[in-house]
Structure 1
Amino acid sequence: MRKPNVWIEAGIVIIYGASLDAAVHSHHAIQVIWPKCHSLCKLNNKDISELVIVDSNIEHQLQMSEGWILLVEPKSTLGQALADKLAGESYKTFHSSFSATVKPQTQAEELTGFLTPLLQALELAPQVLLVNKSTVADKRIQQLLTELNRCLQGDCIKPANWRAAEVAGQLALSQSRFLHLFREELGIAWRPYLLWRRMMCALRAILNNASATEAAHLAGFSDSAHLSRTFRNSFGMTIRQAQALFIKT
């Protein structure tokens, strides 16, 4: 079985390949499933061949031999757009006349091209994708992201002073103005953005041979159990399962 391609940013995990776990599960992230044409795909033991959105915290079981899986933060711009498409339903199917594909070694900046048919089927603009959100206009938010990158990339340090009120004060903004500006620039609210970044930090630390306890501490979780529980609740997989996706074989 082909090893999945995985891209992860704060607010979205994008996977192309086989489904990760055929067990019944649920998770905080809204899930988009787009099976490749003629591939095996079963959702709750029913054959599917179309795009499907699964709402946040809905128990489900997925088996797919090849295709796209998107795990999306519900409080992001994309997450809210997907929730609007669901219109209160737990699952919803959409038709796409294109086949799900990806080429080996696809770069993040190429993803929009591969996912355009998916977005068209959902009648969503490409701009809602939280991939390559590198162009931030406001210099105060640029400054914040630079500082956050120093904290949570490379040799991670435990996050400190990242409460919205503290960050807003450092940027000479009111808390309400900061929260509005951050969401406007990044397409995701500050609190879920920071949580996703911390989980990414912990995963990166484990990939760099840190123990789960060390990774949890570095990323600001109380212990490894707290990290594991948060990761599974967010994505429906353990952090060790996520680690296996990134290990080259």
Structure 2
Amino acid sequence: MQQTIRIKPGYILFRGSCIDAGEHQHIAMQVVWPDRDSTCTLAGLTFNNAVIIDSNTPHNLKMDSGWVLLVEPHSVLGECLKVQLSGQPLKVLSASTSLAPPQSKSGASTVFFKALSELIQGAQMFDNQLNTITDPRISRLLSELNSCFGGQCIKPLQWRAKEVAQKYHLSESRFLHLFSEQVGIAWRPYLLWRRMLCALLILQKGTSATEAAFSAGFSDSAHLSRTFKNTFGMTIRQAISLFKEQE
């Protein structure tokens, strides 16, 4: 089975076979969708249907073949996943479950079903600019972070909370509160997540772990490796082998 990995601002979309990720957790919400006649194992239980996992929920995953989508909670799709979870850390969707959430002023009523149906068809996923952010300063900050996905990675040397706050004429405490309120995630773990996406983009191009660590602002490749394993439940070597399988 050919492997497919797509990394865009705010989400990672992965299709593969023989997926085996040890216990890990991340800020992203997650949809695991096994292929027809395939299974996935989460928390020691085996499922044949789509499963939604809330952000920061420890889990491991084994799947014969299928899709994995990691998406940031502040996106419209993340909002739809929250509706489906209804406060649960994990939810298995029955085959008869409607994936379309209730109507909302954000227009989320069609996005959830459309995104997941396109995912299964291998169509182009929408970019994560479609989000629930209302403060223009936080929106500009996220857009700046997204520049990494345009091929011009910004090494995160000037991303301390105090410096970012000054840039947007806020106190550090006000910035940290505003960011958590708007994004639903504290600034430091969010920045670490985005640095991981940056490292993944660089690794996907065939560069070394050392170069990826330097470009994404990690102290060394060992630091990147530890963070990578804690975030994705697999080693960098395992990830690189998946990249090579899609060539």
User: Deviation of residue 131 (structure 1)?
Assistant: 4.8
Deviations 1:196-231 (A, max 9, x none): 221122222233443211221221111101101111
Q: Decide whether aligned partners of structure 1 residues 61 and 207 sit closer, same or farther in structure 2, where only a CA change above 3 A counts.
A: closer
Q: Could you tell me whether the CA contact under 8 Å between 1:27 and 1:232 is conserved in 2?
A: yes
Change in CA separation of 1:72 and 1:154 when aligned onto 2, cut-off 3 Å: closer
The answer to whether structure 1 residue 115 and structure 2 residue 116 are counterparts is: yes
Consecutive unaligned residues in structure 2, runs of 5 or more:
100-110, 120-124
Report how many residues are paired.
Answer: 223
**Higher share of residues assigned strand:** 2
Secondary structure of 2:70 counterpart? strand
Q: What's the counterpart of residue 107 of structure 1? A: none
The answer to whether the 8 A contact 2:85-2:91 is kept is no
**Structure 2 counterpart of 1:169:** 166
Indicate conservation of the 8 Å contact 1:42/1:62, yes or no: yes
Corresponding residue of 1:190: 187
Counterpart for residue 132 of structure 1? 128
Per the alignment, do residues 13 and 177 of structure 1 end up closer, same or farther by CA in structure 2, a change over 3 Å counting?
Answer: same
* Structure 1 residue 47, shift from structure 2 partner: 4.4
Change in CA separation of 1:97 and 1:226 when aligned onto 2, cut-off 3 Å: same
Matched, 1:241 2:242: no
Q: Distance in 1 between matches of 2:134 and 2:73?
A: 24
Percent pairwise identity:
46
1:5 and 1:111, CA in 2 relative to 1: closer, same or farther beyond 3 A?
A: farther
State whether structure 2 residue 37 is matched by structure 1 residue 3. Answer: no
SS of corresponding position for 1:50: coil
Cα contact 1:153–1:201 (8 A) shared by 2: no
CA–CA distance in structure 1, aligned partners of residues 59 and 146 of structure 2? 34
Q: CA, structure 1 residues 26+72, in 2 after alignment: closer, same or farther (shift >3 Å)? A: farther
The residue number in structure 2 matching 1:13 is 12
Which of 141, 146, 149 aligns to 1:144? It is: 141
- For 1:155-188, what per-residue CA distance to the aligned partner results, in whole angstroms no more than 9, with x for missing partners? 5453122122221111101234323443555554
CA–CA separation in structure 1 for the residues paired with 2:235 and 2:146? 24
Q: Is contact 1:50–1:93 with CA below 8 Å preserved after alignment?
A: yes
Q: Deviations over 1:56-103 (max 9, x none)?
A: 56453412323x323356899939938964636xx5423142799xxx
Q: Which amino acid aligns with 1:34?
A: W
- Whether 2:82 is the aligned partner of 1:81: answer yes
Q: 1:185 to 1:133 in 2, by over 3 A?
A: farther
DSSP 3-state at the match of 2:194: helix
3-state SS of the aligned residue for 2:162? Answer: helix
Q: Distance in 1 between matches of 2:234 and 2:223?
A: 14
Aligned residues: CA RMSD = 4.1
Contact map agreement 1:164 1:190 (CA 8 A) in 2: yes
Question: Does structure 2 retain, via aligned residues, the 8 Å contact 1:71–1:235?
Answer: no
The aligned counterpart of 2:47 is 48
Unaligned segments of structure 1, at least 5 residues: 101-109, 119-128
Separation in structure 2 between the aligned mates of residue 52 and residue 212 of structure 1, nearest angstrom: 31
Counterpart in the other structure of 1:126: none
Change (3 A) 1:234 1:182: same
Counterpart contact for 1:133–1:186, Cα < 8 Å: no
Separation of aligned partners in 2, 1:221 and 1:180:
25
The normalised TM-score by structure 1 is 0.67
Say if 2:9 and 2:146, in contact at 8 Å, map to a contact too.
no
Identify the residue that residue 60 of structure 1 maps to in structure 2.
Answer: 60
Q: Structure 2: how far apart are the matches of 1:191 and 1:31?
A: 20
Larger mean CA deviation between 70-79 and 56-65 belongs to 70-79
